[in-house]
Chain A
Amino acid sequence: MESAVRLRAAVTLLGRFPALAGVDLDIIPGEIVLFKGPNGAGKTTLLRLCAGLCSLSTGQGWVLGHDLNSERRMVRRRVALLGHRTGLYDDLTVIENVSFWAQAAGASSTDVDEAMERLSLTGRLADTRVARLSAGQRRRASIASLVVRRPELWLLDEPHAGLDQQTRDTVDTLVRGAAAAGATVVLASHELERIAVLEPRVVSVVGGVVRADDDPTDSESPDPSSEAEDDRRVS
């Protein structure tokens, strides 16, 4: 079976800093995978690499069968990335934002209605400008604008951050539904107990490299090398 994500000795430099320092990784289609690791370990960079937003400095990589060195545009069309920022326009309403990203992806108005319904963004909330939303509501709107794309690979960076219990459950349902429909879901999170209910395969990311792990609730021990990397990034 062709891997959804396949990386071999992948190195990504941010400036001169090796954010990823030789990653080998295979993720099979339909899998739910959790990247765990301390701050500065390279989780977000790994997600952005899989989305085709970061380039490989050395090494090789394929996402959904497309080469990360030469076919990043093809990768981007088929993935959805929920990052730390929402990707929304403050001066547009929720429905205008979701509709814009739906049209950009060639999705229909039915897809928009469905996504708005699933994320409880109906009624007055739909016609509210994003600038006036709470952080949690913005996050929901951001997720809705990804749902309409019907991606084959979900890349979710701290997907539960800032969400209330009900919306967290909605996100979990979305993740399970996506995986059940054959999509691959990769999450990066510090909320290990929360993610554990999704029964993911856990991949530890430490110091820009990955190692397999089995127990998603293993506590994250402070990692001296990673702390040092944080310091180097700041400096």
Chain B
Amino acid sequence: MFRDVWLIAGKDLRIEMRSRVGLNQIVPFAVTVLVLFAFALDTDQEALRTYAPGLFWVTVLLAALLAIGRSFAVDLADGAADRLLLSGIDPIAVFGGKAAAIAVQLVVLEVLLGAGVVLLFDVTVHRYGLLVCAGLAAAAGVATAGTLYGALVAGLGVRETLLPVLLLPVVAPVLIGATRAFQDAFGVAGAEGWAWLGLLAGFAAIYGVFGALSYGALLEEA
């Protein structure tokens, strides 16, 4: 099982590194969104610092939509999705591998955007442990939910427009929890960051289990 998870994740990550779509398109898109937020609020530096966690996570979620869509597009482009069904790989492993690859991309994105937030929004990190744990848990939550909903819409001609409509409301708890945890880590609000981290971990666990159990049926329909 773990060998197949690694096989799928390795394949997806190798494709992303090779194609450079993440580096040349998704990261610049995310940085642009962040800069636009800075332009919109730059007369009020205090507001920028206060809202930096929320702006950071909205940007991550928007960029995540592109990464998730891309993950399924490469399988659909020339019939590889059918080959995956015929390969004999357990759907749970396909789910785990795709979610892991998306999570790795999101963590890389978070690191780059985090540096951008520190530079552009003039925030200071007070709790590095909380920041790292919340970033990892949120990436896992968005990746598992995104993989599930990505498979749900994969077979539809309107998947690019339908994915945001379905996924963004679902990951709203991640936005709230990660924003509160980052507020605590940045020291901009008195939120109980570790408690919100529990919510993030719970969300990732629920969608991880739910996705693993239902992914086979979703692939059949796609």
Contact = CB atoms under 8 A, between A and B. Distances in A.
B15 A92 contact: yes
A87 B78 contact: yes
Interface stretch (B26-34, B40-48, B79-87, B170-178): B79-87
Interface in B65-97: 74, 77-80, 82-89
Nearest to A51: B86
Contacts of A101: 83, 87
Given A76-B87, A77-B88, A80-B86, 4 more contacts: A53-B85, A85-B82, A87-B78, A104-B88
B88 A89 contact: no
B7 A104 contact: yes
B14 interface: yes
Nearest to B81: A87
B19 interface: yes
Interface centre among A77, A87, A105 (most CB of B within 10 A): A87
Contacts of B83: 87, 101, 145
The dominant DSSP class at the B interface is helix
Given A100-B7, A104-B7, A89 B86 contact: no
Contacts, number: 67
A200 interface: no
A105 B87 contact: yes
Nearest to A88: B78
6 contacts: A53-B86, A76-B85, A89-B11, A100-B7, A104-B84, A104-B88
Contacts of A81: 82, 86
Interface in A44-92: 51-53, 73, 76-77, 79-81, 83-92
A83 B85 CA distance: 14
B4 interface: yes
A88 B75 CA distance: 9
A48 to B, nearest CB: 8
B86 A90 contact: no
Interface of A: 51-53, 73, 76-77, 79-81, 83-92, 96, 100-101, 103-106, 129, 145
A84 B82 CA distance: 12
Contacts of B79: 83-87
A91 B89 contact: no
Contact of A87 (B4, B14, B80): B80
A87 B77 contact: no
A92 B88 contact: no
Nearest to B11: A100
A90 B77 CA distance: 9
A52 B82 CA distance: 10
Contacts of B4: 104
A87 B15 contact: no
Contact of B15 (A52, A84, A91, A103): A91
A91 B86 contact: no
A104 B15 contact: no
Contacts of B18: 91-92, 129
Nearest 4 A/B pairs, CB to CB: A85-B79, A87-B83, A77-B88, A104-B87
